[in-house]
Amino acid sequence: MKSRTIDIWEQTVKNPPKDYQEYFIAEKNFLKNNISKESITLDIGSGSGRIIKELAPYVKKFVGIDNDPEAIELSKELLDNIKNVEVYLEDAEKTHFKNKTFDVVFIGLTFCNFGESKFRVLSEIKRILKDDGKFIFSVFNENALSSREETYRHYDGGYTILDRKKGLVRFNKDNAISEQFSKDEIRSILDKAGFKINESISGKMFHIFSSKKG
């Protein structure tokens, strides 16, 4: 077992601790309330394609990108035969999509893995999102570290807490990082990137936001 984000994540999805179960339900319902049969939707960091599979029946088209070849292989298996989906091996910082392609861009917790590149990713999202489109994303919240550690403890390769107060963690084998955010931190990041929050919900370990360009 390699200690890559997708491996770690797939273990969590298969056997989610209680706080993650709450998150998965909230995430699905929030997204469902923000899409329609007209939506052209992008999932950034689509992993195994779990979200795309569940929500493809509710949108016109669901596209996924992930920068891990193994994730793309997994998602191609899971999404085989679903007509309105496409997945691409691509990095969120620079995609092949034309300007203003998507009605909805979604990121499920992957925002916590971007580290220093988060502003480049936000700038790319701004480019490919329609002017009235929605950018919806979830993050680990400021209290999430103990729930996160419940899942991290089992991983081959181990992890290092770089800053406990900020919830900044590095996975030792591949140096991937994961962080967590308060609502104020997200507000300030979005403000700098040119987005405004329309709606948000929170649970024990997460915040989920719907935002627009502005």
Residue numbers at the binding site for ligand SAM (CB under 6 A): 5-6, 9, 13, 44-47, 50-51, 65-68, 71, 91-92, 108-110, 113
Nearer to ligand SAM, 50 or 134 (CB): 50
Phi-psi region of 167 (alpha: psi -120 to 50; beta: other; left: phi over 0): left
Residue 186, SS3?
Answer: helix
Nearer to ligand SAM, 176 or 197 (CB): 176
Nearer to ligand SAM, 67 or 210 (CB): 67
**Nearby residues of 101 by Cβ (< 8 Å), 6 or more positions away:** 40, 42, 128, 129, 130
Q: How far is the CB of 33 from ligand SAM (least distance, A)?
A: 17
Burial 37-63 (b: 16+ CB within 10 A, else e): eebbbbbbbbbbbbbbbebbeebebbb
Nearer to ligand SAM, 13 or 131 (CB): 13
**Nearby residues of 63 by Cβ (< 8 Å), 6 or more positions away:** 40, 41, 42, 43, 85, 86, 87, 88, 97, 102
Q: How far is the CB of 38 from ligand SAM (least distance, A)?
A: 23
Q: How far is the CB of 43 from ligand SAM (least distance, A)?
A: 6
Token reading at 107:
């990121």
Nearer to ligand SAM, 189 or 214 (CB): 189
Handedness of CA 102, 56, 58, 54 (dihedral sign): negative
Q: How far is the CB of 74 from ligand SAM (least distance, A)?
A: 9
Q: How far is the CB of 32 from ligand SAM (least distance, A)?
A: 15
